[in-house]
Structure 1
Amino acid sequence: MDGSGTQPRAAMIVIGDEVLSGRTRDANMWHLAKRLTEIGISLREVRVIADDRDAIVDAVRTLSGAHDHVFTSGGIGPTHDDITADAVAAAFGAPIGIRDDARAILEAYYEPGALNDARLRMARIPEGAELILNPVSQAPGFTLRNVHVMAGVPAIFEAMLDSLRPRLAGGPPMLSHALRAPLPEGEISGPLGEIAAAHPGVSFGSYPFFRGGLGTTLVARSTDRAALEAGVAAVRAMCLALGAAEVQETPPA
């Protein structure tokens, strides 16, 4: 087990040639992972793909069938390469066109005469989708089945995720407890594996550090507080048995 308990599973699709080329550094995955952890949804997979219709269709179909939620970022702007909305609609065989409610949002935002054909592309919404409001630049995202389609600009993505949050039912929150010990990772790998086998409801990770001396940070994670505490007690005892004079800890709140 991985300690995720009954948490819903999620995946993310980051869409954009600019991310794959290195011109843009994606920040949305980090923000999404943090927020989903807070509300009890387990982010299990992230794919970064090009602005390619077939690739988007394939990723949406594959991931939506394997997860409770799929979040996309990028490709819903006004330019010719913003094809995410059409690709998501195609993935589910849903008709797509300019929808009156989305158009009304844009008409209220732009000055009279400023809503040109390019900007009107942002009102293209698949049939049956529910809008995700965008308080920053107004152009909405949407949810179609279990796929949540949002902008790639970080400030807008974050605002859309806040708008979507009340519709996301999570499970028990993931708890984590970190222990920092002056032990090399090679010495603890065997005993840690035995602890992991004995505590299947907890996931364990080890992360070596070199600054301030050689050592390892061990992190235990679980949605079950009692199971987490038992796993942490075993890790603490292991560190002391291996000769750690001091173990610094950061327990869950």
Structure 2
Amino acid sequence: MTDASPTAAVLIIGDEVLSGRTQDTNLNTIARFLTASGIDLLEARTVGDRTEQIVENLNALRSAHDYVFTTGGIGPTHDDITADAVAKAFGVALPEHPDAVAILENRYGPGEFNAARRRMARIPEGGTLIANPVTDAPGFQIGNVFVMAGVPRIMTAMLEDVAPRLRTGAVVLSRTIRVSGVGEGAVADILTAAAKAEREVSFGSYPFGHGSASEIGTNLVVRGRDADRLETAVTRLVAELAVAGIGAAEV
């Protein structure tokens, strides 16, 4: 392994997300989880319940990043095809996992563990289970891919079992400078110059107040892994804004 921070991608699976019937919140949860672990989330894609589309996107992402997190499509119904697609992507069989069968048998009463629910015990060959403390039905890991539920409460709980399996990196630190009374364009040149001067630090501009009666302005977010570099960048940026007659305050 290199000293570089690990990279990750998210693959959101489900026709219900694409149709607008379900609003995805899992991406935000995973992004915050990865940021706190020093893992760079570089890409996110959303696909429908179509096997070939899942396979194609999963293979592209898992070859490009250290980790891939999928959400959705591991329930008991006919359109829950994520396990099938992941097995196909890895070129392996999809047998029932004995531990998953035992977990689900214990979950359901006599006669309730039907064929539909047995589908949730199918795990791609070579996969290991991800614990689900909410409803017991497990997710799974195969290679660098973590396959989790689409229900936000369940997915979030699964991350507890995922966390110890990850190689972490240096956490990204963040500082925010609030500029009020001027539009984003007024600070664009100053921000561009700052970005060129401090290439180990990232700069972002997030305007507020447009289209409303509230005061306009922008939040300048400075991010980096080195605390000293970050402090230097923030100090210089505030000074340059002051020279230009633009008031700024860190928040």
TM normalised by structure 1 equals 0.94
Relative to structure 2, which stretch is displaced further, 159-168 or 144-153? 159-168
Matched, 1:230 2:232: yes
CA distance in 1, matches of 2:162, 2:200: 30
Contact 2:190 2:241 (C-alpha < 8 Å) held by counterparts = no
Aligned partner of 2:187 in structure 1 is 188
Question: Hey, what's the Cα distance between the residues in 2 that align with 1:214 and 1:155?
Answer: 36
Per-residue CA distance 1:37-94 (angstroms, 9 max, x = gap): 1111111111010000000000110000000000000000000110001101110111
**Cα separation, 1, equivalents of 2:197 and 2:241:** 16
Find the counterpart in structure 1 of residue 136 from structure 2. Answer: 138
**How many pairs were matched up?**
245
Which structure has more RCO (C-alpha within 8 Å, separation ≥ 6)? 1
Give structure 2 stretches of 5+ with no counterpart: none
Rounded to whole Å, the distance in 2 between the matches of 1:82 and 1:234 is 53
Deviation, structure 1 residue 237:
1.0
Of residues 28-37 and 180-189 in structure 1, the stretch that sits farther from structure 2 once superposed is 180-189
- Structure-1 residue corresponding to 2:171: 173
- What displacement does 1:244 show? 2.4
Q: Which residue number in structure 1 is paired with residue 91 of structure 2?
A: 93
Distance 1:81 1:11 in 2: 23
CA positional deviation for 1:212: 4.2
CA distance in 1, matches of 2:241, 2:184: 11
Equivalent residue number for residue 149 of structure 2: 151
Matches of 2:129 and 2:216 in 1, distance apart?
51
**Aligned pair partner of 1:19 in 10, 17, 20:** 17
Confirm whether residue 199 of structure 1 aligns to residue 174 of structure 2.
Answer: no
Residue identity in the other structure for 1:227: R
CA RMSD of aligned residues (A): 1.2
| 2:250 aligned residue | 249
Amino acid at match of 2:11: I
Distance 1:52 1:106 in 2: 26
Matches within 5 A, 1:112-123: 112-123=110-121
The worse-fitting range, judged by mean Cα deviation, of 175-184 and 205-214 is: 205-214
Secondary structure at 2:8's aligned position in 1? Answer: strand
Deviates more, 1:87-96 or 1:71-80: 87-96
Q: Distance in 2 between matches of 1:244 and 1:234?
A: 14
Bigger drift between 58-67 and 203-212 goes to: 203-212
Aligned letter for 1:243? G
The CA deviation at 1:240 is 0.9
Q: What letter matches 1:115 in structure 2? A: F
Opposite residue 29 of structure 1, the aligned amino acid is L
Deviation at 1:98, TM superposition (A): 0.7
Q: Which amino acid aligns with 1:83?
A: I
Q: Deviations over 1:106-131 (max 9, x none)?
A: 01111121100000000000111111
